[in-house]
Amino acid sequence: MELKSLTNLLSLATRPKPQVGSTPADVVWEENKWKLLHYRPRAEGTKYQTPLLLVPSLINRHYVLDLMPGKSFAESMVQRGFDVFCIDWGTPGDEDRFVTFDDVVDRWLGRAIRVASKMVPHEKVHLLGYCMGGTLTAIHGAVHPERIASMITLAAPIRFNDGSLLSRWTNVKGFDVDVLVDTLGTVPWQLLQSAFHMLRPTLTLSKAVSLLDRAWNDEFLDGFLALETWGNDNVSLPGEFYRRYIKALYQEDGLLAGRFSLAGQRVDLKHITFPTLAVSFEHDNIVPGPSAGVLIEAIGSQVKQHLHLPGGHVGAVVSKHAAKTLWPQLEAFYAAHDAPPKTAEPVVDRAVMEAVAQVLPLREVRAPEATTPKAQHPEVREPRDAASMRVDAGTTKAAPGPLREVRAPETKAPNGPKGAEAAKSKLGELRAAPQAAARDGAAPPKTKPSPPRVAGTGSRTAPKAAVVKRLPAKKPAGKPSPRLAR
């Protein structure tokens, strides 16, 4: 074991770099420096109907949620049947110093939500915001909740005046954020990284000791190098975004106080009424547990939960332990609030239709005549003294209408006693004909088969429509017609 550790340590310089952010994905939207990634679904298709949008922090790279095979939250959610999207905020340059907080949270995050939600008929998404990304999703969701099915915030600060080191440093008189932004424009990543290192000055030494103890483990070594790759791949922040983030949130703590606004609209966390889960970690030195958990008390949702787990800010999210403990709970939360299954459309069985066609032969169906407006036929006049009546074909209901006269179909019947006796005699002959033919050995006379019964009527013939005749309009008295005069 010791020889293996020594060999691995000596080969660190030549050891292949770990594959970070390797889950297959396609860029479905790109604007300025940021991109919206769509991870390719599993081969058997998605299991859940609502897409999942991952919102990482702007300070670090997005692939912390897609670290490496086996330790990738995005990969795990894809394998579990989710349709997963993720925002890659990109690398701001000096030209992005004037990108504002509203640009990022209202416009860009809103655009990513709309693009992902358009993939499904109900146009909603699940959100997962990590660290600063969780703060941004909460702010956006309070102002624009209409496309959000549910939200999970992972170690996301909501109360900024919490007595932590970051809160104290940003509130000292010597820290003038205006001078910093006006001087530098884009806040350099070196400044941001040094601040996080100062939170735990012995962190680098602790990592070195852990590396020496477990260098023999190739799996641990690959994960360690992947996490270090991400931890040192920091991103600068646009100056105007950083100015608003520090002054309005860290220094004024305006989010919980209700003094924060987004694109001119007041951010009221009570407007978050969709299901929400806030996750915090016991040993998180960046976002203390109470700072993240207070979101549950501030929102107006009836379905809300605070999950407090052991672990640190990063290790509790992207580790094998997280894959066994945290990730299944996140999946269960999203599954409980997924869209209801689609109602299956009725399927017409062809065999049933053919059987019905044999039992009920096709009949000619005539469409009812459309009522002609009287403006086009002035000779049709409606009575003024009483409502005229019409009979609907095949029914006995009468309804008002412009028709004048309704005559039932005439039937001819035998007249008098002689006609009745003749009818009885004819009926007896018809009944005796088959019996006589059987005695004589002749085939019975062929008779026309009775038509099949019409379903739902109890009759062997379809009901005949009533005969409706229109009476010609009476001509006004006056001069005789020229034709009659001749």
Active site residue ranges: 131
CA distance 431 to 261: 96
Q: Note the Cα 108 to chain centre separation in Å.
A: 19
Give the amino acid at 60. N
**DSSP state, 216?**
T
Give CA separation, 11 vs 20, 222, 227, 235, 443, in Å. 20, 12, 18, 29, 107
Q: Which distant-in-sequence residues (6+ apart) come within 8 Å of 387 by Cβ?
A: 400
CA distance 450 to 431: 16
Give the alpha-carbon dihedral of 210, 213, 215, 217, to 10 degrees.
Answer: -100
Give the amino acid at 50. T
**DSSP state, 412?**
-
CA distance 156 to 130: 6
CA distance 5 to 10: 9
